[in-house]
A and B are shown apart, each in its own frame.
Chain A
Amino acid sequence: MSQYKVVHCNINGKNVEKAVDVRASLTDMLRNEYHLTSVKKGCEVGECGACNVLIDGEAFNSCIYLAVWAEGKHIRTLEGLAEPDGRLSDIQQAFIEETAIQCGFCTPGFIMTAVEILEANKLYTDDELRKLLSGHLCRCTGYENIFRAVKKTMYNRLGKPIDF
């Protein structure tokens, strides 16, 4: 017997509501009900970060988060980053410029963690940045370019000259 619950939340700035199967993960809800397919299904046990989204400003692996817990929350996914006219956000642009993307599977998750990092408006050290990015696996890039893209955007936003 399926059990459903209406979940009201704000996704990428829009108030929405839908009846959701209580057995759904937040990944299931975002992909299947709202077609936000930047939210990837990787390991589905909280280890790889491919499903990462921001909930009330903090990064969560949506694969180990019940969809019904989204009630009343503000959720942001990669789809909410670009301007309405399609212009990319600075962090997305930096990923392209630094060749921080190969297959792209890990990219949305990484970028949403980067958004949380950047919104702290702090100048993190390299070690701190590496620790903050450590909840994501990338099987392609070797991480160095991802690290550079985030670091560069952090320096740019704080108006500081960058030295790699």
Chain B
Amino acid sequence: MYDIKALYEAESIEHAVSLRLEHPDAQIIAGGSDVLVQIREGRRAGKELISIYMLDEMRGVSLDDDENIRIGSLTSFSHITRDPIIQKYINVLGEAVDMVGSPQIRNIGTIGGNTCNGVTSADSASTLHAWEAIVELTGKNGVRRMPIKDFYIKAGTVDIRADEGEIQTAILIPKSSYENTYGHYIKYGMRNAMEIASLGCSVNVRLSDDKKTVDRCRIAYGVAGPVPMRAPSAEAVANGENVSETLIDEFALAVLNDINPRNSWRASRDFRLHIAVQMAKRCLLESIKKAGGVIQ
């Protein structure tokens, strides 16, 4: 038995919003792979919960009228990895979430939970930052959308207005973000399964038509700071430049201007800085290869 004070099961998105307004102290539970574990640990014991897990309308991946990719917040990791739209346009996201925990965790864990928890090590977060995802929230005043960068306020805190009954309903990847764009994610951990990232790095590139120039390069890290973050100086080094080995090296070194990892029991700051450079290098190289580029 879990130590739960009361459980309210939402029957629709509107119902979830009204339950939030009715029960201001209640917390949202989606797949529960964070929430239920924290209840067992005692950290969230004795709370009221609003379950949104049964809302199938919040599951699945689709293209909207403008061909933006829409990922329902309750879509599980395994369904994201297997989805044909994801595989075609943003395969790296499917690969990144395929590194979460274990097969069973990937069947229960949702992308909504992975972002609403505000955790820097979340395996989807760096890729969503690097692809400038848009977060969609639904509350009593309708729908609110914002860039994922603004969604994260600080470690463990995201911009969801509980007092307006908000829940996260989708994550969008704009067409302008995924078109002709190829990416790669590396999760650095001590073991392959059941491991939280010591550092995560996600890079993507769009090359010029002749594949010789970097048209646009984006990079984001998890665990390089309190929340997932982009590395803008590294991106500035690469954008508009010719594809070359030197460029990749300069790009990778420039991440040191941007990131600020800490010492923790999992890894020291110095070690994280060291692998951050190597991961940037390998991710960019792999992204360029996937985009059809050749290193001079």
Q: Enumerate chain A interface residues (CB-CB to B < 8 A).
A: 3, 5, 21-25, 28, 44-47, 49, 52, 58-61, 64-66, 68-69, 71, 113, 131-132, 134-136
Say yes or no: A69 contacts B51, CB within 8 Å.
yes
In the docked arrangement, what's the CA distance between A23 and B46, Å? 10
Closest B residue to A52 by CB, please name it: B104
Say yes or no: A46 contacts B105, CB within 8 Å.
yes
Q: Which of B6, B29, B51 contacts A3 (CB 8 A)?
A: B6
Among B32-40, B135-143, B149-157, B197-205, which stretch is in contact with chain A?
Answer: B32-40
Closest 3 CB pairs of A and B: A135-B102, A134-B193, A22-B7
Besides A69-B51, A69-B53, A69-B54, 12 other CB < 8 A contacts? A3-B7, A5-B9, A21-B1, A25-B36, A46-B33, A46-B101, A59-B107, A64-B32, A64-B33, A64-B36, A64-B37, A65-B32
A-chain residues with CB within 8 Å of residue B4 when the two chains form the complex: 22-23
Say yes or no: A58 contacts B107, CB within 8 Å.
yes
Say yes or no: A25 contacts B193, CB within 8 Å.
no
Closest B residue to A56 by CB, please name it: B107
- State the Cβ distance, A39 to closest chain B Cβ, in Å: 13
With A23-B3, A66-B7 known as contacts, the answer to whether A131 contacts B192 (CB < 8 A) is: yes
Q: How many A-B residue pairs have CB under 8 A?
A: 84
B194 at interface by CB-CB < 8 Å: yes
**Residue contacts A-B, CB under 8 angstroms, 5 given:** A23-B7, A64-B108, A66-B2, A66-B53, A134-B103
Q: Which of A23, A25, A59, A71 contacts B54 (CB 8 A)?
A: A71
Interface size class of B (residues with CB under 8 A): 20 to 34
In the docked arrangement, what's the CA distance between A46 and B9, Å? 22
Say yes or no: A23 contacts B1, CB within 8 Å.
yes
In the docked arrangement, what's the CA distance between A22 and B101, Å? 26
- State the Cβ distance, B283 to closest chain A Cβ, in Å: 21
- State the Cβ distance, A21 to closest chain B Cβ, in Å: 7
Closest B residue to A24 by CB, please name it: B1
In the docked arrangement, what's the CA distance between A133 and B192, Å? 12
B-chain residues with CB within 8 Å of residue A113 when the two chains form the complex: 103-104
B78 at interface by CB-CB < 8 Å: yes
B-chain residues with CB within 8 Å of residue A68 when the two chains form the complex: 7, 9, 51
- State the Cβ distance, B76 to closest chain A Cβ, in Å: 8
In the docked arrangement, what's the CA distance between A132 and B108, Å? 15
With A23-B1, A59-B104 known as contacts, the answer to whether A45 contacts B37 (CB < 8 A) is: yes
With A46-B33, A135-B103 known as contacts, the answer to whether A61 contacts B1 (CB < 8 A) is: no
Say yes or no: B51 contacts A61, CB within 8 Å.
no
In the docked arrangement, what's the CA distance between A21 and B41, Å? 20
Say yes or no: A66 contacts B107, CB within 8 Å.
no
- State the Cβ distance, B216 to closest chain A Cβ, in Å: 32
In the docked arrangement, what's the CA distance between A59 and B282, Å? 33
Say yes or no: B40 contacts A60, CB within 8 Å.
no
In the docked arrangement, what's the CA distance between A111 and B37, Å? 24
Closest B residue to A72 by CB, please name it: B54
Closest A residue to B36 by CB, please name it: A64
In the docked arrangement, what's the CA distance between A65 and B108, Å? 8
- State the Cβ distance, B7 to closest chain A Cβ, in Å: 4
In the docked arrangement, what's the CA distance between A5 and B108, Å? 22
